[in-house]
Structure formats: C-alpha cells, structure tokens
Structure 1
C-alpha cells in the first residue's frame, strides 16, 4: 500500500470569536464549558449530537455540549461561531480560514486531541492510473495551505 499525505497534522479544539470571549471569558478547563453557550453538532450520518472529546490525565473525556443551537452543517456552525453565537468544537483543519482571518480563536488546546492529518491510501498497482494521479494532484491543490 502507498500513503499520500493530503494535509498537515491538525488538532481538535474549542473555538470562539474574539467578541464571544470578550463578553463571556475563555474556558480554562473542560468543566468551564458548562457555563458557556455551545453550538452543538448533530451528525447527519448517525443523527446523534457529537460529544466533544478531550484528553485529561491520559484518558479520553467526552463532554455533552450545553447550548440552545444545534446544527448539522459544519459551515453553518463555523459561521455562527464567527458571529459570536457560541463556542464550537472543530479542527484546526476545518477552521483554517477563520484562524488565518482572526475571526475564530482556539481554547483548551492543552487537552485537545491531535490528528496525523488526512491520507489517501492505494495499492502499488494503482499508482500509475491517470485518474488516481489527477485526483491526488487535485487534492494537493485544494488542500494546500
């Protein structure tokens, strides 16, 4: 098998707008999230509310976010967070535009899990297929920082 990296490693975290943090403060530990408005994400494929995941004392801790807004679209979720509606749980990969623009800021990074990034896996026999090569080139162009 061959693995081709499609993006840099990224990290999961809680994100909020500068205006939200100015009005409500920044959570310092995961327990602080109960005092914040969180924008919840309903996973379309399962129908459940995604529980936010953190690493504490070497163990995975899952938090049920508290909030009056639930969405099932990542773009909408990020847009609401930029407008100061509440905090979101996302990755630095998905929020890269907002981070670069300064419209979202991460918190709780010290207890947030990381990821090695996205990879495309394929067999050695498939590596010379023009369609696969074109797809890899497109992914590199679209996912380039």
Structure 2
C-alpha cells in the first residue's frame, strides 16, 4: 500500500465528519470536485473503499468508520500542537543557556535581569560563570560572552558593552606601606595579585601603553587567581595591587577603599560581545535575549 498524503487523510476526515462533500469542501476551502478527486486518490492508495456515497448521502464504510475513529484523535492532537505555537507568537518561551566570565555577567547580564523577568516570563535564562573558553556548541550552550579581542571568526557577534579600560588599584593602606608605582616597570618591586588564564593556564602579563610606548609586565604575585570577585576581595584585603576592569572597582574608588595608579598608562580595549553559532535558525527566546542585551547604537 502506498502511504497516503496527510492532505488526503484530512479530506477524508472532513467528508466523513460532515457527511457532505459540499460542507467538507467549504470547511477545507476547496471546491467539491477537487475534494472528490482527492478522496478517489486516497481510496486508490489504500486499496479499499472508505465512503458510501449517493447523490444525497455520504457515510463511512465499515473500514472507513474504523479509519475515522483512529484519525479524529490524531488530527485533534495535531490541531492542539499547532495551536500551542501561538504561545511562541504571543511571547517567547524556552531555555537560553549562556557561558560567560564573571566580569561579563556583572556588567552585561545583571543590569538586564529585572526587565527579562518582567517582560519575558516565558524565558528561562541559565548563566554559567566560566573564565575559560568553552566550546559552546559541544557543551550545549546557545551563546557565550567574551572580550572582543577573543572572539572566533566562525561565530556571529553582538556588542554588549562600550570599550573598557583596566584600572591598577590597591588600598590606601597598601600604598602607604609600600609606596605608589609611577611607571609600569615599578610594579616589579610590588606585590601584585596575579591572574591565571583558565583557557591556557598562562600567567597573564599586565599590558600598558602610553603614546608609542608599550610595556608588558610579568608581575610578582603572592596570590594568583582566575576569578574576578576573588581578585577584588584580595585587593580590598590589602594583599597587593590588582589589575581590574574600571567598572568593577568604580564603587570602591569612589568610596576611597581603593586608590588608582598609572591611569595614564591604561588605554581602552574592545568590550564584551555575545557570540553564537553562525546559522539561520535560532529560537525566538535566544533572539529575544540577544536584543535585550545588545548595546544600543
């Protein structure tokens, strides 16, 4: 038996339910002759007569009644499934998983969480803090966030923050005891809180620029971390000098708990970007989150 088309089965259900070619044709939006042709094709495909028809009456045969009893619940389920898509038209729904470093979460995601919860209650956002460079596709993430200088060429990217700057900071107590560096090379004589790159395991060199002069300093570190919050906590605990994103220490600079040095050696660099696979079909939920987090132009 040749497998019949879904349209043929839908035509049979309409005719058998309405007991009329004319009413079934109106229900399906086709002409009665077209419906008659469709039913004949269906009966030829299944190899059995499904409807008894006269000039006035249409009724299912025994086989047709059996088939109708099986198809009506199936088409009801199909209609319900299609109707459920309205929820996606009325408002995005679903899970969106994002992999991001702690700094990006604080600067690019946290400020938008209230709006996401109030305007898009159907979206569940899962954020995984990760200082490494996860393969978002292999690990099942919809998107990741990294600095602009670290993006992969095979990904689409959306800017989330303006350019950023680093700030060299420590507590006033530390500078009172150890003095303030006036040149990047002076940092070699200080206790500096080191940063270990989670992706490569390398000890991050502090980079500086003033005009044409560039310096990379491999600082001496009594403490090495790979978490931005731990870095800040260590600086506030007088452990040493920290190399941190301006926005993360702004509150403590304003309160006087931290003091900044070498500001004229710290130049802007590309901020955070959200990146995701370069393919056509993305969920409505992901598209909504992207537009919510996107930096206004």
How far apart, in 2, do the equivalents of 1:105 and 1:133 lie?
40
Query: Could you tell me which residue of structure 2 aligns to residue 32 of structure 1?
Result: 186
Query: Could you tell me which residue of structure 2 aligns to residue 113 of structure 1?
Result: 267
Deviation at 1:33, TM superposition (A): 0.9
Deviation at 1:4, TM superposition (A): 5.4
Of structures 1 and 2, the one with the larger relative CO (CA 8 A, separation 6+) is 1
How far apart, in 2, do the equivalents of 1:75 and 1:8 lie?
21
Cα RMSD, aligned residues only: 2.9
Aligned residue-pair number: 138
Deviations 1:71-112 (A, max 9, x none): 222211110101111001122133344334432222111111
TM-score of the superposition, structure 2-length normalised? Answer: 0.40
* Higher share in helix: 2
Query: Could you tell me which residue of structure 2 aligns to residue 131 of structure 1?
Result: 286
Query: Could you tell me which residue of structure 1 aligns to residue 227 of structure 2?
Result: 73
Larger CA Rg, structure 1 vs 2:
2
Q: What 5-or-longer segments of structure 2 have no aligned partner?
A: 1-155
Deviation at 1:120, TM superposition (A): 4.2
How far apart, in 2, do the equivalents of 1:64 and 1:95 lie?
22
Query: Could you tell me which residue of structure 1 aligns to residue 91 of structure 2?
Result: none
Residues 53 and 113 of structure 1 are in contact (CA less than 8 Å); yes or no, is this contact kept in structure 2?
no
Q: What 5-or-longer segments of structure 1 have no aligned partner?
A: none
How far apart, in 1, do the equivalents of 2:182 and 2:198 lie?
30
